[in-house]
Structure 1
Protein backbone atom coordinates (compact mmCIF):
# COMPACT_ATOMS: atom_id res chain seq x y z
CA UNK A 1 0.00 0.00 0.00
CA UNK A 2 1.33 3.41 -0.97
CA UNK A 3 0.33 5.62 1.94
CA UNK A 4 -0.02 8.82 -0.08
CA UNK A 5 -2.64 7.17 -2.31
CA UNK A 6 -4.66 5.56 0.49
CA UNK A 7 -7.47 7.04 2.51
CA UNK A 8 -7.23 7.03 6.29
CA UNK A 9 -9.86 4.31 6.38
CA UNK A 10 -7.82 2.20 3.96
CA UNK A 11 -4.81 2.65 6.23
CA UNK A 12 -6.83 1.87 9.33
CA UNK A 13 -8.13 -1.37 7.85
CA UNK A 14 -4.74 -2.65 6.73
CA UNK A 15 -2.95 -5.35 8.74
CA UNK A 16 0.50 -3.85 8.27
CA UNK A 17 3.62 -5.97 8.79
CA UNK A 18 6.32 -3.47 7.88
CA UNK A 19 6.73 0.11 6.67
CA UNK A 20 9.22 1.17 4.03
CA UNK A 21 10.26 4.81 4.39
CA UNK A 22 12.15 5.89 1.24
CA UNK A 23 14.79 8.60 1.71
CA UNK A 24 16.89 10.15 -1.01
CA UNK A 25 18.09 13.56 -2.06
CA UNK A 26 17.63 16.41 -4.48
CA UNK A 27 21.14 16.88 -5.85
CA UNK A 28 23.17 17.01 -9.02
CA UNK A 29 23.60 13.82 -10.97
CA UNK A 30 25.71 15.15 -13.80
CA UNK A 31 24.40 16.68 -17.00
CA UNK A 32 22.50 13.54 -17.98
CA UNK A 33 20.46 12.39 -14.94
CA UNK A 34 17.82 14.21 -12.89
CA UNK A 35 18.30 15.93 -9.55
CA UNK A 36 15.76 13.53 -8.04
CA UNK A 37 17.66 10.35 -8.96
CA UNK A 38 18.35 9.23 -5.39
CA UNK A 39 14.76 9.79 -4.29
CA UNK A 40 13.38 8.02 -7.34
CA UNK A 41 15.61 4.97 -6.96
CA UNK A 42 14.80 4.59 -3.26
CA UNK A 43 11.08 4.98 -3.88
CA UNK A 44 11.16 2.51 -6.77
CA UNK A 45 12.92 -0.15 -4.70
CA UNK A 46 10.45 0.38 -1.84
CA UNK A 47 7.38 0.21 -4.07
CA UNK A 48 8.52 -2.82 -6.08
CA UNK A 49 9.38 -4.63 -2.84
CA UNK A 50 5.99 -3.82 -1.35
CA UNK A 51 4.42 -5.40 -4.45
CA UNK A 52 6.62 -8.50 -4.19
CA UNK A 53 6.54 -8.94 -0.41
CA UNK A 54 4.57 -11.87 0.98
CA UNK A 55 3.24 -9.81 3.86
CA UNK A 56 1.67 -6.35 3.88
CA UNK A 57 4.04 -3.43 3.44
CA UNK A 58 3.21 0.25 3.56
CA UNK A 59 5.34 2.65 1.53
CA UNK A 60 5.51 5.99 3.31
CA UNK A 61 6.03 9.27 1.41
CA UNK A 62 9.61 9.83 0.30
CA UNK A 63 11.95 12.14 2.20
CA UNK A 64 13.40 13.88 -0.85
CA UNK A 65 15.93 16.33 0.63
CA UNK A 66 18.86 14.78 2.41
CA UNK A 67 22.40 15.36 3.61
CA UNK A 68 23.84 16.62 0.32
CA UNK A 69 25.98 19.67 1.01
CA UNK A 70 28.87 17.89 -0.71
CA UNK A 71 27.16 18.77 -4.02
CA UNK A 72 26.46 22.43 -3.16
CA UNK A 73 28.48 23.88 -6.07
CA UNK A 74 26.00 22.43 -8.58
CA UNK A 75 22.80 24.41 -9.13
CA UNK A 76 19.57 22.78 -7.99
CA UNK A 77 21.13 20.78 -5.18
CA UNK A 78 19.22 21.08 -1.90
CA UNK A 79 20.40 19.94 1.50
CA UNK A 80 19.63 19.88 5.20
CA UNK A 81 21.97 19.40 8.12
CA UNK A 82 22.46 15.93 9.58
CA UNK A 83 20.64 17.11 12.72
CA UNK A 84 17.60 18.23 10.72
CA UNK A 85 17.60 15.04 8.69
CA UNK A 86 17.81 12.80 11.75
CA UNK A 87 15.04 14.74 13.49
CA UNK A 88 12.75 14.52 10.46
CA UNK A 89 13.26 10.78 10.04
CA UNK A 90 12.80 10.18 13.76
CA UNK A 91 9.58 12.20 13.94
CA UNK A 92 8.22 10.46 10.86
CA UNK A 93 8.91 7.03 12.34
CA UNK A 94 7.29 8.16 15.62
CA UNK A 95 4.12 9.09 13.77
CA UNK A 96 4.07 5.70 12.03
CA UNK A 97 4.53 3.98 15.40
CA UNK A 98 1.63 5.98 16.84
CA UNK A 99 -0.63 3.96 14.50
CA UNK A 100 0.94 0.70 15.64
CA UNK A 101 3.29 0.43 12.66
CA UNK A 102 6.42 -0.12 14.67
CA UNK A 103 8.65 -2.11 12.27
CA UNK A 104 10.26 0.31 9.81
CA UNK A 105 12.94 -0.10 7.15
CA UNK A 106 14.36 3.21 5.94
CA UNK A 107 15.09 2.61 2.26
CA UNK A 108 17.94 4.87 1.23
CA UNK A 109 19.19 6.00 -2.17
CA UNK A 110 21.89 8.53 -1.21
CA UNK A 111 25.34 7.77 0.18
CA UNK A 112 25.53 11.05 2.06
CA UNK A 113 22.57 9.97 4.22
CA UNK A 114 24.25 6.80 5.46
CA UNK A 115 26.00 8.05 8.64
CA UNK A 116 22.96 10.00 9.85
CA UNK A 117 20.62 7.08 9.12
CA UNK A 118 22.75 4.66 11.11
CA UNK A 119 22.66 7.02 14.07
CA UNK A 120 18.96 7.82 13.97
CA UNK A 121 17.81 4.23 13.45
CA UNK A 122 19.88 3.16 16.46
CA UNK A 123 18.38 5.97 18.54
CA UNK A 124 14.84 5.04 17.49
CA UNK A 125 15.35 1.37 18.30
CA UNK A 126 16.99 2.08 21.65
CA UNK A 127 14.72 4.83 22.96
CA UNK A 128 11.44 5.03 21.02
CA UNK A 129 8.38 2.82 20.59
CA UNK A 130 9.59 1.47 17.24
CA UNK A 131 12.27 -0.63 15.63
CA UNK A 132 14.04 0.87 12.61
CA UNK A 133 16.92 -0.20 10.40
CA UNK A 134 18.53 1.49 7.37
CA UNK A 135 18.79 -0.19 3.98
CA UNK A 136 20.86 1.38 1.20
CA UNK A 137 19.84 -0.29 -2.04
CA UNK A 138 23.16 -0.02 -3.90
CA UNK A 139 24.98 -1.77 -1.06
CA UNK A 140 22.70 -4.79 -1.48
CA UNK A 141 23.34 -5.67 -5.13
CA UNK A 142 26.24 -8.09 -4.70
CA UNK A 143 29.32 -7.65 -6.85
CA UNK A 144 27.70 -4.71 -8.67
CA UNK A 145 28.15 -2.52 -5.59
CA UNK A 146 31.82 -1.88 -6.39
CA UNK A 147 30.80 0.09 -9.51
CA UNK A 148 28.56 2.56 -7.70
CA UNK A 149 30.31 5.90 -8.29
CA UNK A 150 27.92 8.86 -8.60
CA UNK A 151 25.58 9.32 -11.57
CA UNK A 152 27.81 6.63 -13.05
CA UNK A 153 27.16 3.13 -14.34
CA UNK A 154 24.81 1.78 -11.66
CA UNK A 155 22.48 4.73 -11.19
CA UNK A 156 22.31 5.41 -14.92
CA UNK A 157 21.57 1.74 -15.67
CA UNK A 158 18.86 1.74 -12.99
CA UNK A 159 17.24 4.79 -14.59
CA UNK A 160 17.51 3.28 -18.07
CA UNK A 161 15.44 0.37 -16.80
CA UNK A 162 12.94 2.02 -14.47
CA UNK A 163 12.66 5.55 -15.87
CA UNK A 164 14.34 5.68 -19.28
CA UNK A 165 12.82 8.99 -20.29
CA UNK A 166 14.73 10.71 -17.48
CA UNK A 167 18.19 9.94 -18.92
CA UNK A 168 19.48 12.57 -21.34
CA UNK A 169 21.23 10.12 -23.63
CA UNK A 170 22.50 12.91 -25.89
CA UNK A 171 24.59 14.17 -22.95
CA UNK A 172 26.32 10.90 -22.06
CA UNK A 173 29.53 11.82 -23.88
CA UNK A 174 29.72 15.12 -21.98
CA UNK A 175 29.01 13.31 -18.71
CA UNK A 176 31.79 10.82 -19.41
CA UNK A 177 34.32 13.50 -20.41
CA UNK A 178 33.82 15.51 -17.21
CA UNK A 179 33.72 12.55 -14.84
CA UNK A 180 36.28 11.38 -12.32
CA UNK A 181 37.34 7.77 -11.95
CA UNK A 182 36.69 7.52 -8.21
CA UNK A 183 35.07 9.38 -5.35
CA UNK A 184 37.41 11.72 -3.50
CA UNK A 185 41.10 12.56 -3.25
CA UNK A 186 42.72 9.91 -1.09
CA UNK A 187 45.97 10.07 0.87
CA UNK A 188 46.83 7.67 3.69
CA UNK A 189 43.30 6.22 3.56
CA UNK A 190 41.88 9.73 4.11
CA UNK A 191 39.65 11.65 1.69
CA UNK A 192 41.00 15.20 1.42
CA UNK A 193 38.03 16.46 -0.62
CA UNK A 194 34.83 17.35 1.21
CA UNK A 195 32.90 18.38 -1.92
CA UNK A 196 32.39 16.50 -5.18
CA UNK A 197 33.33 19.56 -7.26
CA UNK A 198 36.87 19.27 -5.91
CA UNK A 199 37.50 16.12 -7.94
CA UNK A 200 34.78 15.94 -10.62
CA UNK A 201 34.27 18.65 -13.25
CA UNK A 202 30.59 17.90 -13.75
CA UNK A 203 29.73 15.89 -10.62
CA UNK A 204 29.91 12.46 -12.27
CA UNK A 205 32.00 9.61 -10.86
CA UNK A 206 32.37 6.61 -13.15
CA UNK A 207 31.29 6.04 -16.75
CA UNK A 208 27.51 6.41 -17.25
CA UNK A 209 27.73 5.13 -20.82
CA UNK A 210 28.90 1.59 -20.25
CA UNK A 211 25.78 -0.09 -18.88
CA UNK A 212 22.39 -0.90 -20.29
CA UNK A 213 18.81 -1.31 -19.21
CA UNK A 214 19.47 -5.01 -18.64
CA UNK A 215 21.91 -4.27 -15.83
CA UNK A 216 19.40 -1.86 -14.35
CA UNK A 217 16.81 -4.63 -14.27
CA UNK A 218 19.30 -6.89 -12.49
CA UNK A 219 20.08 -4.18 -9.94
CA UNK A 220 16.42 -3.62 -9.15
CA UNK A 221 15.74 -7.36 -8.88
CA UNK A 222 18.63 -7.86 -6.47
CA UNK A 223 17.66 -4.87 -4.35
CA UNK A 224 14.05 -6.07 -4.12
CA UNK A 225 15.12 -9.60 -3.12
CA UNK A 226 17.45 -8.22 -0.46
CA UNK A 227 14.81 -5.89 0.95
CA UNK A 228 12.24 -8.71 1.09
CA UNK A 229 14.72 -10.78 3.10
CA UNK A 230 15.41 -7.84 5.41
CA UNK A 231 11.71 -7.17 5.94
CA UNK A 232 11.20 -10.80 6.97
CA UNK A 233 14.07 -10.54 9.45
CA UNK A 234 12.80 -7.26 10.89
CA UNK A 235 9.25 -8.51 11.42
CA UNK A 236 10.46 -11.81 12.93
CA UNK A 237 12.91 -10.18 15.33
CA UNK A 238 12.20 -9.54 19.00
CA UNK A 239 12.65 -5.76 19.05
CA UNK A 240 12.40 -5.40 22.83
CA UNK A 241 15.39 -3.55 24.30
CA UNK A 242 18.26 -5.78 25.36
CA UNK A 243 18.23 -6.00 29.17
CA UNK A 244 21.10 -4.77 31.31
CA UNK A 245 23.67 -7.48 31.93
Structure 2
Protein backbone atom coordinates (compact mmCIF):
# COMPACT_ATOMS: atom_id res chain seq x y z
CA UNK A 1 0.00 0.00 0.00
CA UNK A 2 1.52 3.30 -1.14
CA UNK A 3 0.24 5.97 1.20
CA UNK A 4 0.20 8.82 -1.30
CA UNK A 5 -2.11 6.81 -3.57
CA UNK A 6 -4.63 5.80 -0.89
CA UNK A 7 -7.46 7.51 0.95
CA UNK A 8 -7.27 7.82 4.73
CA UNK A 9 -10.19 5.42 5.08
CA UNK A 10 -8.35 2.75 3.11
CA UNK A 11 -5.18 3.39 5.11
CA UNK A 12 -7.16 2.92 8.30
CA UNK A 13 -8.18 -0.57 7.17
CA UNK A 14 -4.61 -1.67 6.44
CA UNK A 15 -3.46 -4.81 8.22
CA UNK A 16 0.21 -4.02 7.62
CA UNK A 17 2.62 -4.49 10.52
CA UNK A 18 5.67 -2.95 8.83
CA UNK A 19 6.39 0.13 6.76
CA UNK A 20 9.03 1.17 4.27
CA UNK A 21 10.35 4.73 4.11
CA UNK A 22 12.37 5.43 0.94
CA UNK A 23 15.08 8.06 1.42
CA UNK A 24 17.18 9.49 -1.38
CA UNK A 25 18.75 12.75 -2.48
CA UNK A 26 18.44 15.45 -5.10
CA UNK A 27 21.99 15.83 -6.39
CA UNK A 28 24.07 15.72 -9.52
CA UNK A 29 24.58 12.36 -11.19
CA UNK A 30 26.71 13.38 -14.12
CA UNK A 31 25.47 14.47 -17.54
CA UNK A 32 23.54 11.25 -18.16
CA UNK A 33 21.44 10.53 -15.04
CA UNK A 34 18.81 12.67 -13.28
CA UNK A 35 19.25 14.65 -10.09
CA UNK A 36 16.70 12.37 -8.47
CA UNK A 37 18.63 9.15 -9.15
CA UNK A 38 19.05 8.20 -5.49
CA UNK A 39 15.36 8.75 -4.74
CA UNK A 40 14.16 6.92 -7.84
CA UNK A 41 16.39 3.94 -7.05
CA UNK A 42 15.28 3.82 -3.40
CA UNK A 43 11.63 3.97 -4.46
CA UNK A 44 12.14 1.18 -7.00
CA UNK A 45 13.70 -1.11 -4.39
CA UNK A 46 11.03 -0.31 -1.80
CA UNK A 47 8.24 -0.96 -4.29
CA UNK A 48 9.80 -4.22 -5.48
CA UNK A 49 10.25 -5.41 -1.90
CA UNK A 50 6.69 -4.53 -0.97
CA UNK A 51 5.32 -6.28 -4.06
CA UNK A 52 7.26 -9.47 -3.29
CA UNK A 53 6.55 -9.60 0.41
CA UNK A 54 3.93 -12.13 1.46
CA UNK A 55 2.17 -9.81 3.92
CA UNK A 56 0.88 -6.26 3.57
CA UNK A 57 3.47 -3.48 3.69
CA UNK A 58 2.96 0.26 3.90
CA UNK A 59 5.21 2.29 1.60
CA UNK A 60 5.56 5.92 2.70
CA UNK A 61 6.31 8.80 0.33
CA UNK A 62 10.01 9.21 -0.30
CA UNK A 63 12.19 11.81 1.39
CA UNK A 64 13.89 13.39 -1.65
CA UNK A 65 16.46 15.73 -0.09
CA UNK A 66 19.32 14.38 1.99
CA UNK A 67 22.87 15.10 3.07
CA UNK A 68 24.50 16.11 -0.21
CA UNK A 69 26.46 19.32 0.27
CA UNK A 70 29.51 17.56 -1.17
CA UNK A 71 27.87 18.04 -4.59
CA UNK A 72 27.05 21.73 -4.07
CA UNK A 73 29.18 22.94 -7.00
CA UNK A 74 26.93 21.13 -9.48
CA UNK A 75 23.72 22.92 -10.43
CA UNK A 76 20.44 21.56 -9.11
CA UNK A 77 21.90 19.80 -6.10
CA UNK A 78 19.86 20.30 -2.91
CA UNK A 79 20.94 19.46 0.60
CA UNK A 80 20.06 19.77 4.26
CA UNK A 81 22.09 19.61 7.46
CA UNK A 82 22.52 16.30 9.24
CA UNK A 83 20.53 17.52 12.24
CA UNK A 84 17.59 18.61 10.08
CA UNK A 85 17.69 15.38 8.12
CA UNK A 86 17.76 13.22 11.25
CA UNK A 87 14.90 15.17 12.81
CA UNK A 88 12.80 14.87 9.65
CA UNK A 89 13.32 11.12 9.37
CA UNK A 90 12.50 10.70 13.06
CA UNK A 91 9.29 12.73 12.70
CA UNK A 92 8.13 10.69 9.70
CA UNK A 93 8.85 7.40 11.48
CA UNK A 94 6.95 8.74 14.48
CA UNK A 95 4.00 9.60 12.25
CA UNK A 96 3.94 6.08 10.83
CA UNK A 97 4.15 4.61 14.33
CA UNK A 98 1.21 6.71 15.51
CA UNK A 99 -1.00 4.82 13.05
CA UNK A 100 0.25 1.44 14.22
CA UNK A 101 3.02 0.95 11.66
CA UNK A 102 5.72 1.04 14.30
CA UNK A 103 8.22 -1.25 12.56
CA UNK A 104 9.94 0.75 9.84
CA UNK A 105 12.71 -0.04 7.38
CA UNK A 106 14.32 3.10 5.95
CA UNK A 107 15.25 2.20 2.37
CA UNK A 108 18.21 4.40 1.49
CA UNK A 109 19.64 5.25 -1.92
CA UNK A 110 22.35 7.79 -1.01
CA UNK A 111 25.74 7.11 0.55
CA UNK A 112 25.83 10.50 2.25
CA UNK A 113 22.79 9.55 4.35
CA UNK A 114 24.25 6.37 5.81
CA UNK A 115 25.89 7.67 8.99
CA UNK A 116 22.95 9.92 9.89
CA UNK A 117 20.45 7.10 9.33
CA UNK A 118 22.47 4.77 11.55
CA UNK A 119 22.38 7.36 14.32
CA UNK A 120 18.73 8.34 14.05
CA UNK A 121 17.36 4.80 13.81
CA UNK A 122 19.33 3.87 16.93
CA UNK A 123 17.86 6.91 18.68
CA UNK A 124 14.37 5.88 17.60
CA UNK A 125 14.83 2.37 18.96
CA UNK A 126 16.21 3.65 22.27
CA UNK A 127 13.81 6.50 22.93
CA UNK A 128 10.66 6.32 20.77
CA UNK A 129 7.64 4.05 20.49
CA UNK A 130 8.92 2.56 17.26
CA UNK A 131 11.54 0.21 15.86
CA UNK A 132 13.49 1.37 12.81
CA UNK A 133 16.48 0.09 10.85
CA UNK A 134 18.34 1.48 7.81
CA UNK A 135 18.71 -0.50 4.59
CA UNK A 136 21.01 0.82 1.86
CA UNK A 137 20.17 -1.03 -1.34
CA UNK A 138 23.63 -0.98 -2.95
CA UNK A 139 25.12 -2.68 0.10
CA UNK A 140 22.80 -5.64 -0.51
CA UNK A 141 23.69 -6.72 -4.05
CA UNK A 142 26.40 -9.29 -3.35
CA UNK A 143 29.69 -8.95 -5.16
CA UNK A 144 28.36 -5.96 -7.11
CA UNK A 145 28.52 -3.79 -3.97
CA UNK A 146 32.26 -3.32 -4.48
CA UNK A 147 31.54 -1.67 -7.86
CA UNK A 148 29.57 1.21 -6.34
CA UNK A 149 30.79 4.63 -7.44
CA UNK A 150 28.65 7.67 -8.18
CA UNK A 151 26.43 7.72 -11.25
CA UNK A 152 28.48 4.70 -12.27
CA UNK A 153 27.46 1.25 -13.48
CA UNK A 154 25.26 0.28 -10.49
CA UNK A 155 23.06 3.35 -10.12
CA UNK A 156 22.80 3.78 -13.87
CA UNK A 157 21.90 0.12 -14.41
CA UNK A 158 19.09 0.21 -11.87
CA UNK A 159 17.69 3.30 -13.56
CA UNK A 160 18.00 1.72 -17.02
CA UNK A 161 15.84 -1.13 -15.74
CA UNK A 162 13.30 0.66 -13.54
CA UNK A 163 13.17 4.19 -15.02
CA UNK A 164 14.85 3.93 -18.44
CA UNK A 165 13.33 7.14 -19.78
CA UNK A 166 15.40 9.16 -17.27
CA UNK A 167 18.80 8.03 -18.57
CA UNK A 168 20.52 9.87 -21.45
CA UNK A 169 22.21 6.89 -23.02
CA UNK A 170 23.73 9.09 -25.72
CA UNK A 171 25.78 10.82 -23.01
CA UNK A 172 27.38 7.73 -21.46
CA UNK A 173 30.63 8.28 -23.34
CA UNK A 174 30.81 11.88 -22.16
CA UNK A 175 30.02 10.77 -18.61
CA UNK A 176 32.85 8.25 -18.59
CA UNK A 177 35.41 10.62 -20.10
CA UNK A 178 34.79 13.37 -17.55
CA UNK A 179 34.55 11.09 -14.55
CA UNK A 180 36.91 9.68 -11.97
CA UNK A 181 37.75 6.07 -11.24
CA UNK A 182 37.76 6.59 -7.46
CA UNK A 183 35.86 8.61 -4.89
CA UNK A 184 38.08 11.20 -3.21
CA UNK A 185 41.66 12.48 -3.28
CA UNK A 186 43.63 10.27 -0.93
CA UNK A 187 46.81 10.49 1.07
CA UNK A 188 47.16 7.11 2.71
CA UNK A 189 43.81 6.47 4.38
CA UNK A 190 42.91 10.15 4.58
CA UNK A 191 40.58 11.70 1.99
CA UNK A 192 41.84 15.25 1.40
CA UNK A 193 38.81 16.24 -0.69
CA UNK A 194 35.70 17.77 0.85
CA UNK A 195 33.54 18.20 -2.26
CA UNK A 196 33.13 15.94 -5.26
CA UNK A 197 34.21 18.54 -7.84
CA UNK A 198 37.72 18.28 -6.40
CA UNK A 199 38.24 14.89 -8.01
CA UNK A 200 35.65 14.51 -10.79
CA UNK A 201 35.05 17.02 -13.57
CA UNK A 202 31.44 16.08 -14.28
CA UNK A 203 30.40 14.38 -11.03
CA UNK A 204 30.79 10.79 -12.19
CA UNK A 205 32.80 8.13 -10.34
CA UNK A 206 33.00 4.83 -12.19
CA UNK A 207 32.19 3.93 -15.77
CA UNK A 208 28.47 4.12 -16.62
CA UNK A 209 29.18 2.57 -20.02
CA UNK A 210 29.35 -0.73 -18.12
CA UNK A 211 25.71 -0.34 -17.09
CA UNK A 212 22.81 -2.27 -18.59
CA UNK A 213 19.13 -2.89 -18.00
CA UNK A 214 19.96 -6.57 -17.50
CA UNK A 215 22.36 -5.74 -14.66
CA UNK A 216 19.74 -3.38 -13.25
CA UNK A 217 17.20 -6.19 -13.16
CA UNK A 218 19.66 -8.37 -11.25
CA UNK A 219 20.42 -5.56 -8.81
CA UNK A 220 16.74 -4.95 -8.18
CA UNK A 221 16.11 -8.66 -7.66
CA UNK A 222 18.96 -9.05 -5.18
CA UNK A 223 18.16 -5.94 -3.18
CA UNK A 224 14.43 -6.69 -3.06
CA UNK A 225 15.07 -10.21 -1.81
CA UNK A 226 17.41 -8.88 0.88
CA UNK A 227 14.77 -6.33 1.84
CA UNK A 228 12.14 -9.05 2.23
CA UNK A 229 14.48 -11.03 4.48
CA UNK A 230 15.00 -7.91 6.57
CA UNK A 231 11.25 -7.33 6.84
CA UNK A 232 10.90 -10.82 8.29
CA UNK A 233 13.60 -10.10 10.85
CA UNK A 234 12.12 -6.71 11.77
CA UNK A 235 8.67 -8.21 12.33
CA UNK A 236 10.09 -10.88 14.62
CA UNK A 237 12.50 -8.61 16.50
CA UNK A 238 11.92 -7.86 20.18
CA UNK A 239 13.67 -4.51 20.69
CA UNK A 240 13.53 -4.79 24.47
CA UNK A 241 12.40 -2.14 26.98
CA UNK A 242 12.40 1.53 25.99
CA UNK A 243 12.57 4.63 28.10
- On whether the aligned pair clears a TM of 0.5, the verdict is yes
SS of equivalent to 1:209: helix
Q: Which runs of 4+ in 1 moved over 3 A?
A: none
Partner of 1:177: 177
Are 1:199 and 2:203 matched, yes or no?
no
Moved more, 47-56 or 72-81: 47-56
SS of equivalent to 2:107: strand
Q: Distance in 2 between matches of 1:239 and 1:55?
A: 21
Partner of 2:142: 142
Are 1:92 and 2:95 matched, yes or no?
no
Residues 10-21 of structure 1: pairs in structure 2 closer than 5 A: 10-21=10-21
Are 1:66 and 2:69 matched, yes or no?
no
Deviation at 1:240, TM superposition (A): 2.4
Q: Deviations over 1:182-230 (max 9, x none)?
A: 1011212111111110000000000000121110000000000000000
SS of equivalent to 1:221: helix
Q: Deviations over 1:126-161 (max 9, x none)?
A: 000000000000000000001110000001111111
Q: Distance in 2 between matches of 1:143 and 1:190?
A: 25
Q: Distance in 2 between matches of 1:100 and 1:212?
A: 40
Q: Runs of 5+ in structure 2 lacking a partner?
A: none
Q: Runs of 5+ in structure 1 lacking a partner?
A: none
Q: Distance in 1 between matches of 2:79 and 2:32?
A: 21
- 8 A contact 2:41–2:109 mirrored in 1: yes
Partner of 1:239: 239
Partner of 1:107: 107
Partner of 1:37: 37
Moved more, 179-188 or 103-112: 179-188
Q: If the length of structure 1 is used for normalisation, what is the TM-score?
A: 0.97
Q: Distance in 2 between matches of 1:102 and 1:211?
A: 37
